[in-house]
Chains A and B, each alone.
Chain A
Amino acid sequence: MKTVFTGTLPSGLVLLVLLALLISTPAEAHEVNRLNAAGATFPYPLYARWASDYNQQTGIRINYQSIGSGGGVRQIVARTVDFGATDDPLSAEELAEHGLVQFPMIMGGVVPVVNIRGVAHDSLRMDGEILADIYLGRITRWNDPRLVAANPGVPLPDHPITPIRRSDGSGTTAIFTSYLNRVSAPWREQVGEGKAVSWPVGLGGKGNEGVAAYVRRVNGAIGYIENAFAVHLDMNVVRLKNRDDHYVKAGPESFQAAAAKADWAGTPGFGVALTDQPGKNSWPITGASFILMHRQTNRPAVARTALDFFDWAFEQGHASALALHYVPIPDPVIALVRERWLTEIVDKQGQPVREAQP
C-alpha cells in the first residue's frame, strides 16, 4: 500500500494544484480574452474570418458556433453564450420577455437559382408572383405562358419544374417566404412565412449546400440560396422584378440599395424586414443578420469585450465582408446601433458597460 501511495501522492498534488488554477483563473481575470457565441449559419463564414483577424490583432479569441438561428436564440436566453446571432429578427415582445438587445451586423441576399438545359446564365427573369406560383405548384412547366411572356427570346423548354427548398428550419427560408408573403396573395393564404413552412410541392435539401446540390443535379430545378453560395458555385441566378418594376441583378449594390430605404430607426430591435423594398435598384429578397445580447449583464467586462469586437467589425470588417459576398449595413444604421449600445446595454447598477468612443 505504501508504495502505491508514494506513487500517487505527488500526481494527486499536481492534480489539486491544476484544479485550483482552473477554478481561480477565470474568477480573478480582469481581462476577458475569450468570447463564446452561437447562432445563425448564414453569417458564420464571415464571423469566423472576423474572429481570426481580430484574434491576430488583439489576442482575443471568439468562439462562434454556427448551430442555427433558433439555437442561437435558445443559447443566449439560457445565458450559455456571451452573444447570440439570428437571421430571423425577434419581435419587440420577445426581446422584452427575455431582456435582450438586438442589432444588425451584416446583410446578405437570397437568390433564386435555376438549372435548365439550354438556358444561359443570367438570362432568366421572373416577378414575385411567378416565383410564388412555382413554389405553390401552380406553374409546373418551364414553357408556361407567363414565364415565356416575361422572357422573350429565352429558349424555355417544355420540361417540368422541380422546386427545391430547405428541409431544415433556416433564416434563409424566413427571408424567402417573407418575400413571397409580401408579393403573393395566394401564398399568404395557403402557406405563410417562417423559418420552416408547409411546402405544397418540391424537394427539401439540407442547408444551402443541400439545396445547391439538388439544383445542380436536377435538370429543370429551381432553388433559393444565399448569394455567397450562388457566387461560389457559379450558379444560374434569376433576375427578379422589384417593387418599382425593374428587373435587377443580385449583388452587393442591389442589396445595399434595398437596405438604404428601410425604416431601421422606427423598428424595435432594428428587426426590419428588407424584402420587397422600394427603390429602382433594390434586390427584393434581402435580409440582415442580427446579434443578440442581454440588456442587463452581471459580467460587464464580457459585454464590453463583445461590443469592442463589433465596433472593430463595423470599423475594419467591411473589406473582408465584401470579399466573402456579404454586404455591410449602411453607415447611418451603424451610427444608430452605436448610440443604442450606450443606453441599452448596462450593468447591474444601470451604468452603460461601454462609454461613448471619441
Chain B
Amino acid sequence: MSGSNTLPARGRWGDRLFQGVALGFALLVLVLLASIILMLLIKAMPAFEAFGIGFLWSAEWNPVTHQYGALIAVVGTLVSSLIAIAIAVPVSFGIALFITMLAPQWLRRPVVTAIELLAAIPSIIYGMWGLFYFAPWFADTMQPWMTTYLGAIPYIGALFQGPPIGISVMTAGIVLAIMIIPFIASVMRDVFEVVPKALTESAFAMGATTWEVAWKVVLPYTRTGVIGGVMLGLGRALGETMAVTFVIGNAHNLSLGLFEPGTTIASTLANEFNEAGGLQLSSLIALGLVLFMVTFVVLGLSKLMLLRLGAQEGKRT
C-alpha cells in the first residue's frame, strides 16, 4: 500500500497523534491498575507486618484487642457469590433461551426491555427492597419451608439452619442473584442470537427437540460467550457492596448455616472504613487487596477454563 505516501503531511501527523493518544489511554489503564495495587500494598503493609500471612486465614476480627483476620469476610464473599451464581445461571439461561428461541415476536421486546431496566436499578434500591420486602417475606415463607424439608437431609441439612429473621448470607445470595441475572441473561441472549440459523435449522430438520437444539447445538457453539457472561456476573457479585450490607446482617461470625448473618469483604469495608484508624484501617485495606486477588484468581480461572475447552475442541476435530 503506497497510498499513505500521497496523504498530505498534516494527515500523517494526525494519524500519529491519534495513535499516540490511543496508546496513552491504553497505558493509563495499566498505570492506574499498577498504582492502585501499589497503594493497597503500601497501606496494607502494617497489617501484614502485624499478623503475617496468617491474616488470610485468621477468623478473628476484634477492634478492641486489635486482632484482625480475613477468613470470615472471604468465606462470606465467596459463599454469597456462589449462591448468587447457582441461582442466576440457570434462570438466565432460561430467559435467554426463551427470548431467542421460544418467545413470540411481540413478546421479545418487552421482556428484553424489562431485563435491561433491571440492570439499571441502583444497588441501594435492591438493598432497601431486600431489607423491607424480600427479607420479611423470605423469613415467613421460604425459610421455614427450607429449614423443615432441606434441613432434615443428612450432612447438607446443617446448611439450612438459622434464626427465622430473613437477614442472612442466603438472603444476600438471592438478592445478588436477582442483581446479576440481567447481566448474565443479556450476554447469553446476545451470543445465542449469533448462532448461525443453518446450524439450528438443520438440527430441527433432523427431528431434534427445542431442548436438544438448545443443549447440544446452541450451548456448545456459544460456550465461550456464556462463560464470559457468567464471569461478568460473578465479578459483580464479588464486589457488590450496598445491597449486601443491607441484608447480610454484618456479623463477623463463621457458621455453617446459610441462614445465619455473615459479612463480605465489600460490606465490611463499607461499614468500618469511616471510623477506622491505625491497624484497623490497614487491615481493611488488606481486605481490599484480598478482594482484588480473589477477583483476579476468579478471572484467571475462567480464562484457564476457556483455554482448556479450546484445547479439547482442537483434539475432537
- Chain A residues near B (Cβ < 8 Å): 67-71, 73-74, 160, 162, 167-170, 191-199, 202-206, 210, 213-214, 217-218
Contacts and interface: CB of A to CB of B under 8 A. Distances in A.
Contacts of A170: 275
Contacts of B251: 199, 202-204
B261 A71 contact: no
Contact of B167 (A74, A194, A199, A214): A214
Given A191-B64, A204-B249, A217-B131, A196 B274 contact: no
A203 B246 CA distance: 11
A205 B246 CA distance: 7
A202 B260 CA distance: 10
Given A160-B163, A167-B250, A203-B165, A198 B64 contact: yes
Nearest to A213: B131
Contacts of A67: 274
A1 to B, nearest CB: 13
Given A197-B64, A198-B64, A205 B275 contact: no
A213 B136 CA distance: 12
Nearest to B242: A206
Given A195-B63, A198-B62, A203-B261, A70 B275 contact: yes
- Among the interface residues B60, B250, B271, B275, which one has the most CB atoms of the partner chain A within 10 A? B275
A213 B251 CA distance: 16
Contacts of B60: 198
Contact of B275 (A169, A198, A214, A217): A169
Contacts of B163: 160, 162
A214 B261 CA distance: 13
Contact of B252 (A71, A162, A198, A210): A198
A74 B281 CA distance: 12
Nearest to A41: B274
Given A193-B64, A195-B275, A203-B251, 10 more contacts: A68-B275, A162-B163, A168-B272, A169-B275, A170-B275, A194-B63, A203-B250, A206-B246, A206-B270, A217-B136
A210 B245 CA distance: 10
Contacts of B167: 203, 214, 218
Interface of B: 60-65, 131-132, 135-136, 163, 165, 167, 245-246, 249-252, 261, 263, 267, 270-272, 274-277, 280
Given A74-B277, A198-B61, A198-B62, A204 B250 contact: yes
Which 6 residue pairs of A and B lie closest in terms of their CB atoms, listed nearest first? A169-B275, A204-B250, A167-B250, A70-B275, A198-B62, A68-B274
B271 A70 contact: no
Given A192-B64, A193-B64, A204-B271, A70 B277 contact: yes
- Interface secondary structure of A, over-half rule: loop
Q: Is the interface of B mostly helix, strand, loop or mixed?
A: loop
Contacts of B64: 191-194, 197-198
A53 to B, nearest CB: 27
Contacts, number: 86
Contacts of A70: 274-277
A37 B261 CA distance: 36
A247 B131 CA distance: 34
A169 B275 CA distance: 5
B63 A206 contact: no
Contacts of B135: 217
Nearest to B272: A169
A213 B132 contact: yes
Contacts of B62: 197-198
14 contacts: A69-B275, A70-B274, A73-B277, A74-B277, A168-B275, A169-B271, A194-B63, A198-B64, A198-B252, A199-B252, A203-B250, A203-B261, A204-B263, A206-B270
A69 B277 CA distance: 11
Contacts of B132: 213, 217
Contacts of A73: 277
Contacts of A196: 63, 272, 275-276, 280
A192 B165 contact: no
B168 to A, nearest CB: 9
Contacts of B61: 198
A179 to B, nearest CB: 15
A38 to B, nearest CB: 11
Contacts of A204: 249-251, 261, 263, 271
A199 B62 CA distance: 8
A218 B165 contact: yes
**Candidate in A74, A170, A203 with the most chain B CB atoms within 10 angstroms:** A203
With most chain B CB atoms within 10 A of its CB, the pick from A67, A68, A167, A213 is A167
A196 B261 CA distance: 17
A168 B272 CA distance: 5
Identify the interface centre among A192, A206, A213: most chain B CB within 10 Å of its CB: A206
B188 to A, nearest CB: 34
A217 B136 CA distance: 8
Nearest to A167: B250
Contacts of A217: 131-132, 135-136, 165
Nearest to B277: A70
A196 B132 CA distance: 26
Nearest to A193: B64
A92 B251 CA distance: 33
Nearest to B131: A213
A192 B245 contact: no
Nearest to A204: B250
A71 B281 CA distance: 12
Contacts of A214: 167
